[in-house]
Amino acid sequence: MIKHAVILVGGKGSRLKELTKKTPKPLIRIGKSTFLDLILKKLSKYYFEEIYLMAGFKGDVIKKKYHNKKILFSTIKVIVEKKTLGTGGCLNQLKNKINSNFLVFNGDSNFDLDLQVFIKKSSFFLKKKNFFCSMALVKNTNYKSNKKLANLSISKKNILSFKKDNGLMNSGVYIFDKNIFKLISNKKISLEDQILPKIILDKKTVGFNFNSYFIDIGIKKNLKLYRSKIKKDENSQKCVFFDRDGVINKLDGYVTSQKKFKILPGVENAIQYLNKKNILVIIITNQSAVGRGMITENNLNKLHLNFCLKIKKKNSSYINDIYYCPYIKNAKIKKYNKNSIYRKPKPGMLLKAIKDWGLLKKNCVMIGDQNTDQLAAKKSGIKFLFKNNQTLYEQVKKIY
């Protein structure tokens, strides 16, 4: 499992002219979100421990918005370069923070590949220690003027090389071996112009071609196209909100340990079914056991992570997000003692999730087992269904 992801968000976005004079390119609005928000949402289901944002131009703005924030189980760390280091030199700031393979993404392009497939294919080669990098490639059909790693070829042994005519193109998604840090110093250097060409010529790079949607928003034409696509996606994106206890796991008092967290029949298949249909899966759960001093937030997150890893291992299914409310009136732990808008039957968690994920209420359904779930859904303006006697898989299959 890869623990760290890195997003390069230091560029000035000069080709977008007035759009990036005051706004860093990754923070350009795309529908209801920023471009960077959209990337982070895509990464949430991979459960990285840390996601590093390598910032440069207007880096303080990015740091203020994202530093130490969490997206599901991933903590976001923003590192702002003190001097211009380029797409390669900025990675030098991570050499004492990362000691295993790590993913790197360009912060101005979107590539809808399955990272689990890319990671699995890459690991076979990177574990041999003969390679510094694995690169995800895409067919170069719309970027003929791009001269940066735009004419690449993959051998039968997956080794990358240059090709004279238009071949495959770098997508800006890489997995690096930690030994890449040996080639990077604390000075300005380009990943695309200097580091990658060298290790490609040295046959230290493998590549894999993916036929997935790709776009670089660095020019106005592409930005307009991507905004149009996201608007369409937001209008059609469906989401199922699940209560936890009694729907996902057996209702057994306060679930405060892994031993008591017993997954109900059909849950893994239900989630896998929704994943395949591109329907978001978000858990909404009251967890007053935290406020009552029965479990810490840290241990609650570990319990949730263990559940997510278990179902991913079983059938590659995944959860997009989890919202929980630790607050309760007269809580034993003082900081959780409040009458919170986020505690069901109040609608706070649902409304926050709808806003965070840019959802339309008409596209949302909640499945729960308590009247508090029904009331929260009603106050949020979304459809509600009680968990019935069927397995969760049988129930969601009838809905979709």
Residue 149 predicted with pLDDT over 80: no
* Residues taking part in catalysis: 243, 245
Closest-CA residue to 387 (of 215, 261, 265): 265
> Which of 138-142, 200-204, 211-215 shows the lowest per-residue confidence on average (mean pLDDT)?
138-142
Mean pLDDT calculated for residue range 122-144: 84
Pairing relationship of beta strands 364-368 and 239-242 according to DSSP bridges: parallel
pLDDT of residue 147: 59
Options 3.90.550.10, 3.40.50.2000, 3.40.800.10, 3.40.605.10; CATH for 4-233 is: 3.90.550.10
Mean pLDDT calculated for residue range 262-272: 97
Mean pLDDT calculated for residue range 318-334: 96
Residue found by looking up tokens 């949402």 in the block: 41
What are the residue boundaries of the structural domains of the chain, listed by start? Answer: 4-233, 237-399
Decide if 222 contacts 213 (C-beta within 8 A). Answer: no
Residue 129 predicted with pLDDT over 80: no
Provide CB contacts within 8 A for 180, sequence distance 6+: 91, 132, 133, 195
- Rounded CA-CA distance 76/32 in Å is 21
Query: Which CATH number is associated with domain 237-399?
Result: 3.40.50.1000
Through-space distance between the first and last CA atoms of the chain, rounded to whole angstroms: 32
pLDDT of residue 310: 96
Provide CB contacts within 8 A for 318, sequence distance 6+: 45, 46, 271, 275, 281, 308, 311, 312
Which tens digits make up the pLDDT trace of 314-324? 999 999 999 99
Which tens digits make up the pLDDT trace of 34-71? 999 999 999 999 999 999 999 988 889 999 999 999 99
Q: Give residue 127's Cα distance to chain centre.
A: 24
